[in-house]
Chains A and B, each alone.
Chain A
Amino acid sequence: MAIDADAAAAVRRLLLLAEVTDFLYREADLLDERRYEEWLGLLADDYQYSVPLRMNVRYGDVAEREQTRPGEEICWFDEGKETTELRVAQLATGQHWAEEPVSRVSHLVTNVRLESCEPPEVDVSCRFVVYRNRVTDESDFLVGRRKDRLRRAADGWRVCRRRLLLDQSVLLAKNLSVFV
């Protein structure tokens, strides 16, 4: 019986992983298809998005100094849903020149792992590659790791916290005008 219970738990976990992974892929599709209003619908009202700066530091200084701290120090992004909504509204003006003409973007999500599960929330770790090409030869690779906290609502999952670590200290792209 114990074996069956373990197997059932493993299957539940696999199903949960598959469900969460599918959600992240669907989110990537919405972004790459520029369906921003639908994408906003996937963000919880208490959505918190932060992208710290990374620094070149000594091995022994990594814990203390390698990233800036969201909530108190300068980041690339550190914002809630209200600001993200403003960004979507800005894109829709047709005068956000950084994205006119619109960029071609692909969000790749991989190495998806469930870190913990405390219903209705799960913590998910993944790697991302965001490729942007615009105008002609303007190409950016934004690569790094991401930790998401997802919450199950009645009609599907919501992202309630996203912390993203970009593997660049000096940003080699001229701006971050696409959602990473």
Chain B
Amino acid sequence: MRVRDLVDVTHGEISREIFVDGHIHRLELENLFPRAWLFVGHASQVPRPGDFFASWMGSDPVLLTRDDKGRPHVLLNSCRHRGMRVCRYDEGNTMQFTCPYHAWSYSIDGSLVSTPGDLHGVPQLKAAYSNKLRKENWGLVRCPKVRDYKGLVFATWDPEAPEFEDYVGDFHWWLDNLADAFDGTEAGTDVFRGVQKWRLKSNWKLVAENFLGDTYHGASTHASVEAVGIGPGGRGHRRHGEQQHEGGFSRGRLKTSFRLGHGASDNLRYELPYPEFAEQPMNEYFAAAWQTRKARLEKHGRPLGGRGPATMFPNMSFSAGFPRTILVAHPLSATETEVWRWYLVDKAAPGFVRDWLRHYYIRYAGPGGMTEQDDMENWDYATQASRGVVASRYPYNYQQGLGEELPSELDRAVHSHHAIAGEVNARAFYRRWSEFVDNLSWPELNKLAEVDERATRQGDGHGDRR
């Protein structure tokens, strides 16, 4: 079976099987997640040597740690002897992980072993192994590639994977807006302590797709919050708090879709100023931040837009505005997902700004968030109602804006003027997804993404080509 045959981006039809089938899910776990760059956690969660934060990469539990030299590491959280999860804590500080089962211990202090994560102590080493155990070969499995990008820590299991910058491409501008402070200070953000984690009975891709560029769902899905008004402007204002004179949500806005699979709901030239707040000190703070950022970025000829929502292929979604938050959709099975949410804040933000943002974030997003609650309902019951034998014969429709892609000044990317109702991003996401899941080699994957033929062929009315 070729998964690519289930993803017909030329006609904008994608089989429901890829959202419910257990075998396809297994292929995703084998061929996609161990090769992609995945978001693991934020550097500010492990500030000191010995700090650790427990996370997941696809089907595998991992530990994000910091060694005595200050470098981050990502280690497989499974003992090399019998597989016990050596650490069942969510976070903490330690210089070694000792497995409860037989007490193999692994040091994260590079001064005790040659590499952090290496096997340090084995009970009865001499008696049990006649001193022949090569401890250096039995350390915790280490992620060969870890990248701290402005505090956002990514990793991949595949030593052959492209460097992080090549994997991300020009999509990095959105990551920059996520990680830089509201006034443009580079890497000027931290995460609030506390990661919201919750379980869904839905396929992880429905979650990733929602933030990738599905602005179409807002009007219906979030009708209740729009009616009530929970935005920065207070009651009666829109939930994202656009400046009222900006004419709503979409004037001048374009979607941005990358051949590499990443996508954003906006474009860099969609320069939406920070919102209007009901509180005057908030207005003053953000007006000043916007001016500072404008001056900073314009000095380098950088446009001011690009706040998302966006998804970095495959499963890290984020918004770099209001709210400013990262979501990872961890795949548990074809029909189960564990969602994690981090919330970012400027390191230098004064107390009243931190406080306001924190309240706004959790009122908006997460399981208690008035907006996100309704998303969960959709993802779960879309998954449930797609599992039926008859239902699964009928594909989903991805035809919005088909064949109307616009060229972009960004590398291997296109835009769509279907700013709200456009599915160009999803088509590119699933095309890239199918190339990974079909286990194409890196040379093949790289070759396919060498050019974005969508931009050179606009106007012929044939839509995306594989």
B-side contacts of A175, CB under 8 Å: 198, 367-368, 372-373, 376-377
Interface with B: A71-79, A144-152, A154-162, which one?
A71-79
Contact check, B373 vs A98: say whether CB atoms are below 8 A apart. Answer: yes
Closest to A51 in B: B368
For the complex, is B195 an interface residue (Cβ under 8 Å from A)? yes
Question: Residues 347-384 of chain B: 1 if any A CB is under 8 Å from the residue's CB, otherwise 0?
Answer: 00000001100110111001110101110111011000
Question: Residues 37-57 of chain A: 1 if any B CB is under 8 Å from the residue's CB, otherwise 0?
Answer: 000000000000001110111
Q: Report Cα–Cα, A106/B373, bound state, in Å.
A: 20
Cβ contact of A78, chosen from B193, B362, B378, cutoff 8 A: B362
For the complex, is B445 an interface residue (Cβ under 8 Å from A)? no
Cβ contact of B358, chosen from A55, A57, A78, A93, cutoff 8 A: A78
Contact check, B374 vs A61: say whether CB atoms are below 8 A apart. Answer: no
Interface with A: B71-79, B86-94, B105-113, B178-186, which one?
B86-94
Among A68, A74, A95, the one with the most B-chain Cβ atoms within 10 Å of its Cβ is: A74
Q: Report Cα–Cα, A79/B355, bound state, in Å.
A: 11
Closest to B193 in A: A73
B-side contacts of A61, CB under 8 Å: 89, 92
Among B88, B223, B373, the one with the most A-chain Cβ atoms within 10 Å of its Cβ is: B373
With contacts A56-B90, A61-B92, A93-B228 known, is A74 near B196, CB below 8 A? yes
Contact check, A89 vs B362: say whether CB atoms are below 8 A apart. Answer: no
Question: Residues 58-87 of chain A: 1 if any B CB is under 8 Å from the residue's CB, otherwise 0?
Answer: 100100010011011111111100010011
With contacts A90-B224, A171-B198 known, is A77 near B91, CB below 8 A? no
B-side contacts of A3, CB under 8 Å: none
Contact check, B199 vs A93: say whether CB atoms are below 8 A apart. Answer: no
Contact check, A97 vs B227: say whether CB atoms are below 8 A apart. Answer: no
Among A65, A72, A77, A97, the one with the most B-chain Cβ atoms within 10 Å of its Cβ is: A97
For the complex, is B225 an interface residue (Cβ under 8 Å from A)? yes
Cβ contact of A98, chosen from B193, B227, B366, B377, cutoff 8 A: B377
Closest to B199 in A: A172
With contacts A56-B89, A75-B362, A175-B198 known, is A97 near B368, CB below 8 A? no
Contact check, A176 vs B367: say whether CB atoms are below 8 A apart. Answer: yes
Q: Report Cα–Cα, A73/B372, bound state, in Å.
A: 19
B-side contacts of A89, CB under 8 Å: 227-228
Contact check, A74 vs B194: say whether CB atoms are below 8 A apart. Answer: yes
B-side contacts of A18, CB under 8 Å: none
B-side contacts of A75, CB under 8 Å: 194, 362
Nearest-Cβ distance from residue A175 to partner chain B, whole angstroms: 4
Contact check, B89 vs A76: say whether CB atoms are below 8 A apart. Answer: no
Contact check, B343 vs A74: say whether CB atoms are below 8 A apart. Answer: yes
Contact check, A169 vs B197: say whether CB atoms are below 8 A apart. Answer: yes
Given contacts A53-B194, A57-B89, A73-B192, 19 further A-B pairs with CB under 8 A are A74-B358, A86-B228, A86-B229, A89-B228, A90-B227, A93-B228, A95-B224, A96-B224, A96-B373, A97-B221, A97-B374, A169-B197, A170-B198, A170-B338, A171-B197, A174-B200, A174-B377, A175-B372, A176-B367
Which 4 pairs from chain A and chain B are nearest by CB? A74-B194, A171-B198, A68-B194, A98-B373
Residues of A in contact with B (beta carbons under 8 Å apart)? 51-53, 55-58, 61, 65, 68-69, 71-79, 83, 86-87, 89-90, 93, 95-98, 135, 138, 169-177
Jot down 11 A-B pairs with beta carbons below 8 A, ordered by A: A55-B91, A74-B196, A74-B343, A76-B362, A89-B227, A89-B228, A93-B224, A135-B381, A171-B367, A172-B199, A174-B200
